[in-house]
Chains A and B, each alone.
Chain A
Amino acid sequence: MLGGYISDLDTGDVFEPVEYTLTAFMCSEYAHGTEEQSEFFHSAHNPAGRQLRPPTMIHADKMLLLEKNCLKEQRISGMKGPDARVHYEYHAKQHSAAYVGETLVVTGRIVEKYVKRNRPYLWYYMEVHTKDGRLVTTYNDRTLLRYRPEGVAA
């Protein structure tokens, strides 16, 4: 169910898309935060001749989708849900580079909500396209909704 906590999301939920224009600040700041010094992400002085978005920024897109679709647990705004969420798997495939100044559209859905070893998981699938339709990234993500197994008190 959209509109609630992240743990309210369920198999088949389709997110309302997010659209934004990629800025130099976004790319450089994200790269800076991980000590990535490659000039690809900090300026146009690189073999591509334009500043690029770090391939891993799909994780920021996931946060934007959740911010728009889980109104009781807007993590970017500092809200917390009933349990901390723990990222378990990142799997991104790049189909083209995204350049500063391009408008990006992020779509996504919940492939499956499931329980493994008494712990609940969400499997997200996301795509990022440029507004004119070029595929940039496809992404599968598995997140643990609660680290403590069922029945173990805090």
Chain B
Amino acid sequence: MSTKRTFSVGEELAGPVRGITNERIEWYDSAMLSACMNELRQVGSNIHTDEAFARQEGFSGINADGMIMTNWCSEMLVREFGLDYIERGELRTKFIKPVNFNVLLHVKARVKEANRSASGGMEYVLDVWCEDEHGTKLVDGDAKVAAAA
């Protein structure tokens, strides 16, 4: 008998709750460049790190790279579904509003569908989103995970 946790329709999952800081923005952008080049790199000027440049491009100030929030959503799915998500999962995120410096971000998900598969596992469909401390949705998305039996 499987000891895997199962999820019910309507169940809410809570991911990280983290503030958007200059350091976190720099960590992601530098790490992404480092991963690309297989050596440590430091991010330069862009709309995520340079206030003047961000304003010149039409933003109200520096804003977080959307992939920071996507990674925090993914972290929640890795924690809840493990290899089932890493090997067979699907995640979509839409960056519907700029996520500005100093916002406190809450990563959340809700199980929308939970169906038994022919192989005896579970197939989940989830709404996934990030909201600020006032409950305003800044990132919207969904996910699918086929959990093996």
The residue in chain A whose Cβ has the minimal distance to the Cβ of B89 is: A94
- Which B residues between 65 and 83 are near A, CB-CB below 8 angstroms? 65-68, 70-72, 74-75, 78-79, 82-83
Q: Which of A2-10, A82-90, A107-115, A124-132 contacts B (4 or more CB under 8 A)?
A: A82-90
Within 8 A of A (CB), among B22-74: 24, 27-41, 44-47, 53-54, 56-59, 65-68, 70-72, 74
Interface size on A, residues (CB 8 A): 47
Residue A133 is within 8 A (CB to CB) of chain B in the complex: no
Produce 1/0 per residue, A73-102, CB < 8 A to B. Answer: 000101010011011111111111100000
Q: Which residues of A contact B11 (CB under 8 A)?
A: none
> Nearest residue in B to A34 (C-beta to C-beta)?
B71
Taking a contact as CB atoms under 8 Å apart, the answer to whether B83 and A97 are in contact is: yes
Q: Which residue of A lies closest to B58 (CB)?
A: A148
> Quick check: B58 and A64 within 8 Å, CB to CB?
no
Q: How far is the CA of A33 from the CA of B38 in the complex (A)?
A: 14
Indicate the member of B29, B67, B95 with the most A CB atoms within 10 Å: B67
A76 to chain B, nearest CB (A): 5
Q: Which of B32, B53, B85 contacts A55 (CB 8 A)?
A: B85
Give, as a whole number of angstroms, the nearest-CB distance from B35 to chain A: 4
* Contacting residues, chain A, for B78 (C-beta < 8 A): 36, 38, 40, 55
Q: Which residues of B contact A (CB under 8 A)?
A: 16, 18, 24, 27-41, 44-47, 53-54, 56-59, 65-68, 70-72, 74-75, 78-79, 82-83, 85-95
A-B contact pairs, 29 of them (CB 8 A): A20-B38, A26-B34, A26-B35, A27-B35, A33-B35, A34-B27, A35-B27, A35-B72, A36-B71, A52-B86, A55-B78, A55-B86, A59-B67, A60-B36, A63-B32, A63-B33, A76-B33, A76-B41, A87-B65, A87-B66, A88-B94, A90-B93, A91-B92, A91-B93, A92-B91, A92-B92, A94-B87, A94-B88, A97-B86
